[in-house]
Amino acid sequence: MNFENLGWNAYWDGVFAPFADALLPGRVRIAHRESFEVWTAAGELAAVPSGKLRLGGDWPVTGDWVALSPEGRIEAVLPRRTAFLRREPGEAMRPQVIAANADVAFLVMGLDHDYNPRRLERYLYLTTVSGARPVIVLNKVDLGEDLDERCRACERLAPVVALSALTGAGLGALLSQVEPGETAVLLGSSGAGKSTLANRLRGYEAMRTQPVREHDSRGRHTTTHRELIALDLGWLLMDVPGLRELQLWNAPEALDHTFADVAALAAQCRFGDCRHQTEPGCAVRQALEGGRLDGGRWGSFQKLEREIAHLDRSSDPEAQAEQKQRWKAIHKEQRRMYPERRRK
């Protein structure tokens, strides 16, 4: 196989050098629970994790470059250049890698009922944390209203491509966003048209698509697994199932990047520790009152900020202990100030 078309370059040559004497490089095409389909220079190989890998280290995911034996044992996962992380679904406070080594993220959003700027901001945050570059894909141009206005709103956040995956209109603008050998990942909700777009890029209907519900444009999860697809266009595509639960992972610095307009306003406040409530000289409040900052966007920023702070406390034992002591002090002070409540 042509490794350059799979994303191999001088960087990966250097990273793989410590394994070059005894092992082979490969890229994970599909990751199953306990087995993997891996591209190698000799072709596709069915692989399993080695005992050493089972005992610790990064577990391979779709898009990973790995070092494996000729017999098909994955001995190591090469350090990822980019990684899409979310909090593992459920109660656990652990990160989950959903895609690795993607160069560009196509954030697909339908121009029907699927259009949701607040959800888009979450995907932009996810992409910023990953290290990939975002491209907003506004799909279903034939169904959308206020196309120009919505394009202008999204262009403030990232490059925008408006297209119809169903007809192919506007597809050329999307193709110009990817270079040969790069990997693009499709992210978006179910019903946004990701599988239809993947089919269009492959040139045939490789993935069965399903109609969306008319009243809310939601669809079923047509894509049920993460797969790396080698396109005749010379680059790779990764389709990710619609994420039912997009719990963010902790990276506070990415919030200021995703909300650069809010961060710029906050930097203009009179006080460095301004809470943007009633403080004099608050640039954020002035922008909200003057209509220069959208109230919905400000609310989204605050919500994500609270989520990240909660993650920080929950994943940091010291922060957790400090939070616990703070609440103990608050409750103690409440009992001192309102002793009558204790007698009830």
CATH code of the domain covering residue 30: 2.40.50.140
Verify that 87 and 235 share a domain, yes or no: yes
pTM: 0.79
Verify that 211 and 180 share a domain, yes or no: yes
Verify that 72 and 87 share a domain, yes or no: no
Verify that 65 and 164 share a domain, yes or no: no
Verify that 107 and 232 share a domain, yes or no: yes
Q: What is the CATH number of the domain that holds 294?
A: 1.10.40.50
| Domain C-terminal end among 239, 261, 285 | 239
C-alpha pair distances (Å), 48 with each of 20, 27, 35, 43, 60: 19, 13, 5, 16, 10
Q: What is the CATH number of the domain that holds 208?
A: 3.40.50.300
pLDDT per residue, tens digit, the chain (344 aa), is 688 889 999 999 999 999 999 999 999 999 998 899 999 988 999 999 999 999 887 899 999 999 999 999 999 999 999 998 877 766 666 778 888 999 999 999 999 888 999 999 989 988 988 899 999 999 999 876 788 999 999 999 999 999 999 999 999 999 999 999 999 999 998 888 998 999 999 885 545 545 544 444 444 444 457 889 999 999 999 988 755 455 666 666 778 888 999 999 999 999 999 999 989 999 999 999 999 999 999 999 998 888 887 777 666 565 455 545 655 665 566 566 656 544 44
User: How many domains does the chain divide into?
Assistant: 3
Assess if residue 324 is contained within a domain: yes
Verify that 227 and 94 share a domain, yes or no: yes
**Residue 272 exposed, middle or buried by CB count within 10 Å (0-12, 13-18, 19+):** exposed
Verify that 307 and 264 share a domain, yes or no: yes
Assess if residue 16 is contained within a domain: yes
Q: Residue 73's domain spans which residues?
A: 3-77
Verify that 113 and 217 share a domain, yes or no: yes
| Domain C-terminal end among 184, 215, 239 | 239
Verify that 193 and 103 share a domain, yes or no: yes
Verify that 290 and 235 share a domain, yes or no: no
Verify that 41 and 172 share a domain, yes or no: no
Residue 196, both tokens: 């239809």
Please name the residue that has the structure tokens 């109660």: 91
Verify that 31 and 162 share a domain, yes or no: no
Assess if residue 187 is contained within a domain: yes
